[in-house]
Structure 1
Amino acid sequence: MDFTELKKQWLAEEQASFKGWDFSHIRGRWMDEQLPWDYEQLLRRYLSCEHQLLDMGTGGGEFLLSLNHPYSQCSVTEGYEPNVQLCKERLEPLGITVRKIENPLHIPYPDASFDLVINRHEAYDFKEVYRILKPGGTFITQQVGGKNDDDLVAKLGCVKELPDPKTFDLQNAMHYALQASFNVELGYEAFTPIEFYDVGAFVYFAHIIEWEFGGFQVESHFDQLCTLAQELAEHGCIRGSEHRYLLVLKK
């Protein structure tokens, strides 16, 4: 195995561009989120054409646009500055309201603004989401659990940068939702496989998910990547496990 040539490829993957929340660069080179629920199908059960909809942490608006909801009734929040600018360029001309969020404890929209708030993998505060929902409104969130990618993180020898990963699970989320006066309609939790079919795809992923793979760089973790290349040669993939949970809450 020519690790010198592989290192050049891995360094190139580390520098590959990333916009919005779009992993098309590694399409066909990995598998993730083989979940027992369908986030989009679920939220469509709660979404009506007349609803005011907020997508928290919209990335570049890719998922929101796929819903084909009336643009004038769509709003988004985004905190990552490059994505904020992307949303202003892509979404505002369509009539979608874009607001930058600095702190999940303050969502920059008035009380009782939305019939449905959706949130996939974005930070939130239950009380603040409750505030911006209309009476009878729904909050649907799919979140990354605290045990997500633990095995892959260990293989690289990295350290997660979450404040306390042990508290990120369905049981704790339901507890805090009830404290915020929500009614729990649905709650799901799952551990499912994630697979990478070349080491470069994993490098691209780990470089982006920097809050899980703290301090990761090809140069500093080259030996671990070589070990992963050998694992790939033996087993046909690099495999880890994902932790997800989902809540449907009513105000």
Structure 2
Amino acid sequence: MTVPPAHRAFEDLVAEAVAVPTEGWDFSWFEGRATEERPSWRYARSLSGRLAGAGTALDLQTGGGEVLDHALGAAPRTPRLTVATEGWPPNTARAAALLRPRGVAVVAVPEDAPLPFADGAFDLVVSRHPVRPHWAETARVLAPGGTYFAQHVGPANVFELVEYFLGPQPESVRRARHPEDERAAAEAAGLEVVELRAQRLRMEFHDIGAVVHFLRKVVWMVPGFTVEAYEPRLRALHRRIADEGPFVAHSTRHLFDARKPSTALDTP
């Protein structure tokens, strides 16, 4: 008889999670071990439609390129030029291998660096879960009348898990990435926010291995996370999941649809 993951030995589950590669944004390993409710706007599906209508497109912080690859594959037509940027070397290599067969140029760009593209080079800029949006650079590389279409991570994201390990966080940390703050920053950079939608979504972690792999993969959740540093808390959480069922947290997401005015007269 198969033993449910939550009732397997702590050491086995942790060893299994530590052995899994963390490159890219493929979350298929979590199947049967963790779940996350998806936003109602279906970003990847909507992205395919946006790409089909674009002549030149830029995907910022593409990760391993999985989302862009899926969206291009589903699009009825693709831009004549598509470029993707990524700052983490393992992901850059992964994205290049995945996207170059589709004709996408993958450029290594550190997250905080200026974009190495001309002013107004793209009529569509997209991003899924950027570490932080760089509004001035996004506005600069957008052509007049161009669109920024992105799904961002919101405030207090998965903070039930974060605060389990780090304790209560100050309000300034909990508010970081608030959609209204980002709206103000986008408008200050000269963009017009056409639509901004936010949702809070249920997540469940069914075993401690899923927790360990998540924190290894999404490294900014618990900075400096290692199994050794947090072993007592991990063991306690392992017992809690075995006794009480899945650990429940909530992700936060918001959808940005912003436009660069066609002329100076279009600026609000």
Same fold, judged at TM 0.5 (above): yes
- Alignment of 1:18 with 2:26, yes or no, is no
2:83 is aligned with 1:79 = no
Question: Which residue pairs with 2:40 in the alignment?
Answer: 36
Instruction: Report the CA distance between 1:49 and its aligned residue.
Output: 4.6
Residue of structure 2 in register with 1:137 after alignment: 146
Note closer, same or farther for the CA distance 1:66–1:60 as it changes in structure 2 (3 Å cut). Answer: same
Aligned 8 A contact 2:58 2:125 in 1: yes
The match for 2:217 among 198, 203, 208 is: 208
Residue 71 of structure 1 contacts residue 94 of structure 1 at CA under 8 Å; is this kept in 2?
A: no
Q: Structure 1: any 5+ residue segments left out of the alignment?
A: none
Measured after TM superposition, the shift of residue 189 of structure 1 is: 1.4
Q: CA deviation at 1:36?
A: 3.1
- TM-score scaled by structure 1? 0.88
Say whether residues 1:172 and 2:181 are aligned partners.
yes
The count of aligned residue pairs is 248
User: For residue 148 of structure 1, what is the aligned residue in structure 2?
Assistant: 157
- Give the conservation status (yes or no) of the 8 Å contact 1:57–1:79: yes
Residue identity opposite 1:130 in structure 2? A
In structure 2, what is the equivalent of residue 221 of structure 1? 230
Moved more, 97-106 or 55-64: 97-106
Aligned to 1:192: 201
Q: Deviation string for 1:46-91 (max 9, x for gaps)? A: 3335521111111221111112253752210000011112233332
Instruction: Please give the secondary structure, in 2, of the residue aligned with 1:139.
Output: strand
Q: Quick check: 1:57 aligned with 2:57?
A: no
For the residue of structure 1 that corresponds to 2:9, the secondary structure is: helix
Distance 1:50 1:157 in 2: 43
CA 1:33–1:51 in structure 2 vs 1: closer, same or farther (change >3 Å)?
farther
Counterpart AA for 2:20: A
Deviates more, 1:167-176 or 1:82-91: 82-91
| 82 and 225 in structure 1: CA distance in 2 versus 1, 3 angstrom threshold | same
Do the aligned partners of 1:11 and 1:218 also contact (CA within 8 Å) in 2? no
- Partners of 1:241 and 1:63 in 2: CA distance: 22
